[in-house]
């Protein structure tokens, strides 16, 4: 049965005189999804340590369990992290699902599992909540059909539910992603595990490479690099995924909101423990440093596939920067936090080519602009471009508490909550409970860092 819609809630945030503390962030959502899926594809047992306990990753676990995979939670969640053990008979031992596979609110679950199921000889239907039913699937359907799977969706094959009839042997293809998307790339690579020959994905901008790293660590021949002005990922002859344990770093997309809070607040110092700093994901750190943010980075020695570091951010004088489409692609999930930084920076920040934000859990361009404007920020939208004028010389950056809508979008809820720490007066956020999608303990941490 599909999950019922979350109940709308209102959360009130008051300004903070100081921000202090050390935070252990939830496990990286992107890596957790992939660790669960790859553990299920492998025959045997794989541990996922410190993975996300957010609703999205729980949706992936639920879909895999409906296919006959055992996923056991080891102990109680800790700060949005949970350890799991995945026991699987391997893809060949999966059972055809008796009902609809419920992806909840998770676009990652829908897109990555589409690739997996395209290469699995069974009939399956992927669906989700009302928000997910508005997320486009045509970019997934097109390459998976060319590989030989049968896929159909409603509204002329553009929107979920998504029906898939998979095959045990798919055709190798070359696929150019029209819009840089790690999820589309990953769907093609996961489908490519059932293909013979070279599966190639070409991107205008290199997107997050967790899937490539994790496939290599599990015995799959995946190579990547620049060629002919593009970033090219090549996987040869698919193969069997081997079981492997994964230690999941803290989610840098969650860290983004604390990095902005610490840099913008007039009296702040926050430490973020064991954060993932994968070169294809760390754009938020580098862009904030360009804006003048004081961020200290202490690399950690790890035995996993992902680099990690402890980040400490403190009060800074921020200045405006310009972001182009390439910057947006590298920091797509962190753009909401960067917009708040821009509202607190000296000068005018331009963010160009952000159309992909309109295809997230909500139309994030409209949500960011409407919410920040309600709080007093100067924001203009022109198509898929945003212009934000900061007012650092005014008290509270010219931000004043107001009632704002998160539109059931976890990133917008966190954006407006952090803005509430900086604004003058009371900020009331509708649908703030949506933070549970990626960061169940966010509102608790928000109160804990008030000194």
Q: How far apart are CA 53 and CA 299, in angstroms?
A: 25
For residue 78 the two structure tokens come to 């800790």
Among positive and negative, which fits the CA dihedral 45, 50, 53, 56?
A: negative
Q: How far apart are CA 111 and CA 126, in angstroms?
A: 9
Q: How far apart are CA 322 and CA 270, in angstroms?
A: 26
Cβ neighbours for 207, distance < 8 A, ≥ 6 positions apart: 180, 181, 182, 185, 280, 329, 330
Rounded to 5 degrees, φ, ψ at 66 are -65, -15
Q: Three-state SS string across 374-434, please?
A: HCCCEEEEECCEEEEEECCCCHHHHCECCEEECCCCHHHHHHHHHHHHHCECCEEEECHHH
Q: How far apart are CA 105 and CA 59, in angstroms?
A: 8
- Which residue in 127, 129, 333, 408 is the catalytic one? 333
- Asked if 381 and 354 touch (Cβ cutoff 8 Å), the reply is no
- Asked if 419 and 426 touch (Cβ cutoff 8 Å), the reply is no
Exposed, middle or buried, 299 (CB in 10 Å: 0-12/13-18/19+)? exposed
Exposed, middle or buried, 95 (CB in 10 Å: 0-12/13-18/19+)? exposed
- Give catalytic status of residue 363 as yes or no: no
- Start-to-end Cα distance in the chain: 44
- Asked if 288 and 259 touch (Cβ cutoff 8 Å), the reply is yes
- Asked if 189 and 212 touch (Cβ cutoff 8 Å), the reply is yes
DSSP 171-185: E--EEE-SS--HHHH
- ∠ CA 126-132-137, nearest 5°, is 65
Q: How far apart are CA 380 and CA 387, in angstroms?
A: 5
* Residue 189: closest CA among 170, 205, 206, 204: 170
- Asked if 160 and 132 touch (Cβ cutoff 8 Å), the reply is yes
Looking at the annotation, which residues are catalytic?
Answer: 333
């Amino acid at each position: 049965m599909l999950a019922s819609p979350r109940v709308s809630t209102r959360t009130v945030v008051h300004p903070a005189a100081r921000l202090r503390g050390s935070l252990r962030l939830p496990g990286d959502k992107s890596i957790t999804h992939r660790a669960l899926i790859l553990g299920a594809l492998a025959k045997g047992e794989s541990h996922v340590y410190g993975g996300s306990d957010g609703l999205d990753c729980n949706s992936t676990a639920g879909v895999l369990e409906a296919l006959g995979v055992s996923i056991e939670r080891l102990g109680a969640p800790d700060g949005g992290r949970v350890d799991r053990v995945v026991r699987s008979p391997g893809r060949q031992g999966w059972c055809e699902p008796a009902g609809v596979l419920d992806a909840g609110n998770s676009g990652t679950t829908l897109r990555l599992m589409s690739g997996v199921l395209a290469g699995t000889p069974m009939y399956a239907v992927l669906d989700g909540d009302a928000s997910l039913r508005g997320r486009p699937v045509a970019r997934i359907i097109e390459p998976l059909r060319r590989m030989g799977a049968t896929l159909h969706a409603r509204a002329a094959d553009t929107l979920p539910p998504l029906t898939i009839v998979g095959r045990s042997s798919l055709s190798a293809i070359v696929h150019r992603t029209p819009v840089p998307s790690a999820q589309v790339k990953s769907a093609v690579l996961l489908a490519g595990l059932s293909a013979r020959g070279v599966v190639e994905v070409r991107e205008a901008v290199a997107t997050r490479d967790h899937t490539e790293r994790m496939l290599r660590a599990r015995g799959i021949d995946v190579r990547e690099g620049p060629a002919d002005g593009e970033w090219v990922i090549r996987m040869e002859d698919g193969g069997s995924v081997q079981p492997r344990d994964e230690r999941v770093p803290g989610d840098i997309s969650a860290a983004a909101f604390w990095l902005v809070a610490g840099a913008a607040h007039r009296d702040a110092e926050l430490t973020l423990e064991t954060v993932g700093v994968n070169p294809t994901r760390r754009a938020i750190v580098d862009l904030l440093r360009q804006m003048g943010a004081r961020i200290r980075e202490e690399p950690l020695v790890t035995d996993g596939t992902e680099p990690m570091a402890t980040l400490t951010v403190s009060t800074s004088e921020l200045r405006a920067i310009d972001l182009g489409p390439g910057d947006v692609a590298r920091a797509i999930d962190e753009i909401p936090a960067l917009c708040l930084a821009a509202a607190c920076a000296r000068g005018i920040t331009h963010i160009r080519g952000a159309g992909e934000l309109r295809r997230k859990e909500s139309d994030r361009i409209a949500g960011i602009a409407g919410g920040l404007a309600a709080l007093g920020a100067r924001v203009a939208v022109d198509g898929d471009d945003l212009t934000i004028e900061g007012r650092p010389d005014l008290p509270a950056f010219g931000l004043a508490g107001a009632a704002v809508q998160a539109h059931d979008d976890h990133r917008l809820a966190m954006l407006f909550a952090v803005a509430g720490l900086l604004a003058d007066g009371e900020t009331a956020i509708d649908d703030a409970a949506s933070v549970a999608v990626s960061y169940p303990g966010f509102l608790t941490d928000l109160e804990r860092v008030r000194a």
